Structure 1
Amino acid sequence: MQSEKSGILWVVGSFLIWGFMPIYWKHLEHVQSDEILTGRIMWAFIFTFLAVLIMRNGRQLVNDVRNLWKSQSQFWSLFIASVLVTSNWFIYIWAVNHDYIVQTSLGYYINPLVSVLLGIFFLKEKLSSSQKIAFLLAFTGVIILTVSYGKFPWIALSLAMTFAIYGFIKKNVKLDALRGLAIETLFITPFAVGYYIFLFMKGQAAFLQVDIKTDILLILTGIATALPLVMYAQGVRMVPLYVAGFIQYIAPTLMLFIGVVIYKESFGGVEMLSFSLIWAALILFTVSKVFETVSTKRSAHETSK
């Protein structure tokens, strides 16, 4: 039970950071999305690799790579996870810097529903009656948002699918969170380095060409990327996937608030209705989880007497 509480704290922290990330990317909207992604991959690898060395875990990192290679299913699962999260990063950065923050929030509202379904169908996780009702309320809210959007929300659905499947794979790959991220980014870093060389050769790179603020922000994308991913990877292994799925509503709620209040994207009555349904689902889910926890503690206490 204590490990589940710690897991919840890790996952909540990661989604709070992700929720505020649109503000960060908006400060880089003068840089092309492909360069932001390329820098994000490179600097995330550099920072995670340095962190591993500082913690004197370099030998364990080498052993992790060797063990992954021995288990080909784990190796290729992590490679697929790396490709998925890289795709998710690019779509998200592009959408934020092209004024689609509200649609990105829709994507991350849909994402937990996909996570819940993956947990039910593949991990045989169970929902209580009240949690099923909460799921239906949230599903209804998301459907209303999707229909009211007026056209096929490819950004939202792409974000939802890529990150949900990424989380599902990560839950089943047994690796230390920090070293796992170092390996994930290592898979893609050679491609990122090659693309950055191409950008410099073509004179299209912004890094070291615009101003010091841009350079610092591009470098810090590594920390902005690594920190929440490590926190998420650390926490998601300690909690049922459906719990992690509902916690994920923190990020899109913050994104929606930022998109509407700060960047003045449209938000009408239909969106408010959907938003209310989703929050009702969250309240119901949280209350049911609290009662479930209290009941489990009571049963354990009575058994120990």
Structure 2
Amino acid sequence: MGLIYALGAFLSWGLVVPVHFRLLDGVPAWGILAHRIVWSGLFIALLLVTLRLMRRGPIVSFQRRHAFLLLSALVIAANWSLYLWAVQNGRMLDASLGYFINPLVNVALGALVLRERLRPLQLTAVALAAIGVVAAVVAAGTLPWIALTLAVSFAIYGLIRKLVPIDPILGLGAETFALVPAALAYLAIAPTPPGQGAGQWLLLMLTGVTTAVPLMWFAAAASRLKLSTIGLMQYIAPSCLLGLSVLVYGEKLPPSRALVFGLIWAGLALYAVDAARPRRAVAPAPEDKPA
């Protein structure tokens, strides 16, 4: 079941979510974000009531962690809004690159913030990704800010959630509920886009489902699979996004950007090889025998 949950989550993020948002081209990115927050909040609230999670212990710890959860909510909202803007403005290729870089940014943050030691192949993988970004800057003459912002913001979000251990659904609920007042205020004052019929309203309501369900599937997969397996399957989503951007929506893949993807994939391959290698157990020190 773990593999099925993981496939569902990553295929949703790589195929269903971007196509869903492209169908909402007539709605501004901020409007989609506001609807996404409100409908996700309603969906999660119904889920919490249904699962009777409100009576469990972790809910009372929100008061001690609200500052960190508010920060993670703001970071993920910024990530979502930039992703929405990229999808709606024909920049799926940049979004795909950002989520390819993201796992290696996670590795770098783990080393810098959590003092996790990097093995030689991991260091090489991060170096290849960095070379790819530098190559993109040199070739284009500009910083790939969309890709870097998506990669870094999602990595920071993951770091915060790692430092604040909490039930995934409760954590998602706390973050969403913190953003709901701002989302409702925006919807109250923002002008309604023209031609917003029943079909478009249905698509906006479904943003709550396409936001919350993949996150819950991911949490279910993470509890059943090895972390290395999850890490390798993570690249399904940006690979699907890359295919959509080039094959379906006609974005150009210039040679310089192809070189960047090649370097990123090489780094990911090295990281995958390192993650798949069996680790030798450290032999216990021999006990001193009495003379």
Contact 2:104 2:125 (8 Å CA) reproduced:
no
Contact 1:177 1:231 (8 Å CA) reproduced:
no
The whole-number CA distance in structure 1 between the counterparts of 2:123 and 2:228 is 11
1:89 is the counterpart of 2:83:
no
Task: Report how many aligned residue pairs link the two structures.
Answer: 283
The whole-number CA distance in structure 2 between the counterparts of 1:237 and 1:161 is 25
Match of 2:216 among 230, 233, 239: 230
The whole-number CA distance in structure 1 between the counterparts of 2:283 and 2:11 is 34
Contact 2:99 2:147 (8 Å CA) reproduced:
yes
1:161 is the counterpart of 2:152:
yes
How does 1:57-96 map onto structure 2 within 5 Å?
57-60=53-56, 63-69=57-63, 71=64, 74-96=65-87
The whole-number CA distance in structure 2 between the counterparts of 1:142 and 1:249 is 18
Shift of 1:56: 1.6
The whole-number CA distance in structure 2 between the counterparts of 1:246 and 1:210 is 40
Gap runs ≥5 in structure 1: 301-305
CA RMSD of superposed structures (Å): 3.1
1:53 is the counterpart of 2:40:
no
Identity rate, percent: 35
Shift of 1:271: 2.3
Match of 1:39 among 30, 35, 42: 35
1:12-31 CA distance string (max 9 Å, x none) = 65343222222221111111
Distance 1:238 1:147, change over 3 A: farther
Contact 1:181 1:230 (8 Å CA) reproduced:
no
The whole-number CA distance in structure 1 between the counterparts of 2:140 and 2:233 is 24
Shift of 1:263: 0.9
How does 1:58-207 map onto structure 2 within 5 Å?
58-60=54-56, 63-69=57-63, 71=64, 74-199=65-190, 204-206=191-193
Distance 1:45 1:82, change over 3 A: same
Which 10-residue stretch deviates more, 103-112 or 30-39? 103-112
Contact 1:37 1:90 (8 Å CA) reproduced:
yes
Instruction: Specify the SS of the correspondent of 2:112.
Output: helix
Shift of 1:272: 2.2
Instruction: Specify the SS of the correspondent of 2:138.
Output: helix
Contact 2:6 2:233 (8 Å CA) reproduced:
yes
Contact 2:96 2:147 (8 Å CA) reproduced:
yes
Distance 1:184 1:234, change over 3 A: farther
Distance 1:158 1:45, change over 3 A: same
- Normalised TM-score (structure 2): 0.85
Gap runs ≥5 in structure 2: 285-291
Contact 1:111 1:245 (8 Å CA) reproduced:
no
- Normalised TM-score (structure 1): 0.81
Contact 1:106 1:142 (8 Å CA) reproduced:
no
Instruction: Specify the SS of the correspondent of 1:118.
Output: helix
User: Which residue identity lines up with residue 205 of structure 1 in the other structure?
Assistant: T
The whole-number CA distance in structure 2 between the counterparts of 1:50 and 1:100 is 34
Larger relative helix fraction = 1
Shift of 1:241: 8.8
